[in-house]
Amino acid sequence: MTDANPLPPNDWPELQPGWVWLCGAGPGDPGLLTLHALNALRQADVIIYDALVDSRILEWARTDAKLVYAGKRGGKPSAKQRDISLQLVDLAKAGKRVLRLKGGDPFVFGRGGEEAQTLVQHAIPIRIIPGISAGIGGLAYAGIPVTHRDVNQSVTFITGHDQSGKTPSALNWQAISDGSQVLVIYMGIKHIDRIAGELLKAGRPASEPVAVVTQATTPDQKVLETSLGAVVADLEKSGMSPPAIICVGRSVKMRQVLDWQSMIAGEKPRDLDPLGRGRPAESR
Ligand code: SAH
């Protein structure tokens, strides 16, 4: 850790005593932090962070900052959501400069909305700092563009389980299947059999490409390329475990030309025209 401020001079907002900044830390790679996140890390007295916040990011904290872990790991239950929110309220009321740091984007399947709501209800002043969500940035690191003009005009972000830990019962899989060419599923590994089953039942083809990306953007990133019909068996064989982003749709094929990490490692693209369009992309 160092206390030199790496930010260029600017009108950076000041994290004042009694405030809570709710901030996204991105999917893992510390280089995907925003400058506002860095500015927050340089100022906070207390940082309450989740399991998905990469430890290298916390190295940007002030040397005397108090770091509080509020996630779950190794199957232990997470700190209760209510307790975390009230802890934030208490720290702010005690005059601390509080940074609530969450993986990805705080408002994407991260309960950031609930925490922010509690803070506002307790009249605690807040600032929200968005982050790069795993469902976009994590897929980009796997060479999968979340939209591509030749593939999709919409994308649907889905959570694989709801508050009860089950597959979300409120989801209309038929509508999702009919309505969106590309699906990006967070927290999907546990219920992948049910999710794949619902999509097949709704008429998505068993041959449809699927990618599972674990530990995206970190040195441990792994990518499984499979299909809707084979994903359950292939995932089991792979031994891959959460956190994972699952992408269903033809965009997964773009990885054959856009797997830039393999190209950096010296591999050639597998197919320059994976969608079989036959013309250079720029001429379309
Ligand atoms: N707010 C976060 C999502 C929190 S929900 C965001 O915007 O990214 C937690 C889920 O996010 C995980 O179960 C996984 O599905 C996904 N996730 C977060 N970080 C990830 C990573 N580095 N690699 C793969 N999936 C990740």
CATH number at residue 256: 3.30.950.10
Determine the distance separating the centroid of ligand 1 and the alpha carbon of 33, expressed in angstroms.
15
**Nearest Cα residue to atom 24 of ligand 1:** 244
SS3 call for 225? strand
Residue 143 tokens, joined? 């060479």
Stretch 187-212: mean pLDDT, rounded?
97
For residue 13, the 8-state DSSP code is P
Distance in Å from the first CA to the final CA of the chain: 49
pLDDT at 5: 67
One-letter-per-residue 3-state SS of 241-267: CCCEEEEECHHHHHHHHHCHHHHHCCC
Is residue 77 very low, low, confident or very high in pLDDT (cuts 50, 70, 90)? low
Distance, in Å, from the CA atom of 205 to the CA atom of 76, rounded to the nearest integer, reads 37
Query: DSSP letters of 107-131?
Result: TSSSSHHHHHHHHHHTT--EEEE--
Of 132, 165, 197, which residue is a domain's last?
Answer: 132
Residue 251 inside a domain? The answer is yes
Q: Is the pLDDT score of 3 beyond 70?
A: no
The 10s digit of each residue's pLDDT in 11-26 is 899 999 999 999 999 9
**Residue 20: closest CA among 138, 101, 103, 82:** 101
The most distant pair of C-alpha atoms in the chain lies apart, rounded to whole Å, by: 64
pLDDT at 243: 97
Q: Is the pLDDT score of 73 beyond 70?
A: no
For a substitution probing ligand 1, which of 32, 52, 184 has the most ligand atoms within 8 Å of its CB? 52
Domain co-membership, 32 together with 139: no
Q: How far is CA 132 from CA 98, 105, 141, in A?
A: 21, 6, 12
Q: Which helix (H) or strand (E) holds 66?
A: strand 66-69
Domain co-membership, 151 together with 48: no
Domain co-membership, 106 together with 191: no
Residue 281 inside a domain? The answer is no
For residue 4, count other CB atoms closer than 10 A to its CB: 5
Of 70, 99, 132, which residue is a domain's last?
Answer: 132
Is residue 74 very low, low, confident or very high in pLDDT (cuts 50, 70, 90)? very low
Determine the distance separating the centroid of ligand 1 and the alpha carbon of 265, expressed in angstroms.
25
pLDDT at 4: 63
**Nearest Cα residue to atom 9 of ligand 1:** 187
Determine the distance separating the centroid of ligand 1 and the alpha carbon of 50, expressed in angstroms.
11
Domain co-membership, 146 together with 63: no
Residue 1 inside a domain? The answer is no
Residue 262 tokens, joined? 């393999």
Stretch 168-193: mean pLDDT, rounded?
94
Residue 264 inside a domain? The answer is yes
Distance, in Å, from the CA atom of 215 to the CA atom of 238, rounded to the nearest integer, reads 14
Residue 199 tokens, joined? 């999509």
Domain co-membership, 45 together with 141: no
Domain co-membership, 102 together with 142: no
Determine the distance separating the centroid of ligand 1 and the alpha carbon of 270, expressed in angstroms.
28
How would you classify the pairing of strands 182-186 and 244-248?
antiparallel
The 10s digit of each residue's pLDDT in 226-262 is 999 999 999 999 999 999 999 999 999 999 999 999 9
Distance, in Å, from the CA atom of 217 to the CA atom of 106, rounded to the nearest integer, reads 18
Output the domain CATH number for residue 110: 3.40.1010.10
- Quick one: which atom of ligand 1 is closest to the CA of 105? 7
pLDDT at 239: 95
Stretch 131-141: mean pLDDT, rounded?
98
Q: Which residues are catalytic?
A: 50, 72, 187
Q: Is the pLDDT score of 284 beyond 80?
A: no
Is residue 203 very low, low, confident or very high in pLDDT (cuts 50, 70, 90)? very high
Residue 283 inside a domain? The answer is no
Residue 13 inside a domain? The answer is no
Determine the distance separating the centroid of ligand 1 and the alpha carbon of 105, expressed in angstroms.
9
How would you classify the pairing of strands 20-24 and 98-102?
parallel
Phi, psi for residue 278 in degrees, rounded to 5: 75, -5
Q: Is the pLDDT score of 277 beyond 90?
A: no
Residue 2 inside a domain? The answer is no
Q: How far from the centroid of its chain's Cα atoms is residue 126's Cα?
A: 22
Distance, in Å, from the CA atom of 261 to the CA atom of 265, rounded to the nearest integer, reads 6
By residue range, what is the domain housing residue 209?
A: 135-275
Distance, in Å, from the CA atom of 31 to the CA atom of 63, rounded to the nearest integer, reads 20
- Quick one: which atom of ligand 1 is closest to the CA of 213? 24
Name all residues whose Cβ lies below 6 A of ligand 1.
Answer: 27-28, 52, 102-105, 108-110, 133-134, 138, 186-187, 213-217, 242-245
What is the number of domains present in the chain? 2
Lowest average pLDDT, out of 22-36, 94-108, 147-161, 270-284, goes to 270-284
Of 132, 163, 182, which residue is a domain's last?
Answer: 132
Residue 99 inside a domain? The answer is yes
Distance, in Å, from the CA atom of 191 to the CA atom of 150, rounded to the nearest integer, reads 30
Q: How far from the centroid of its chain's Cα atoms is residue 116's Cα?
A: 19
The 10s digit of each residue's pLDDT in 36-48 is 999 999 999 999 9
Domain co-membership, 128 together with 139: no
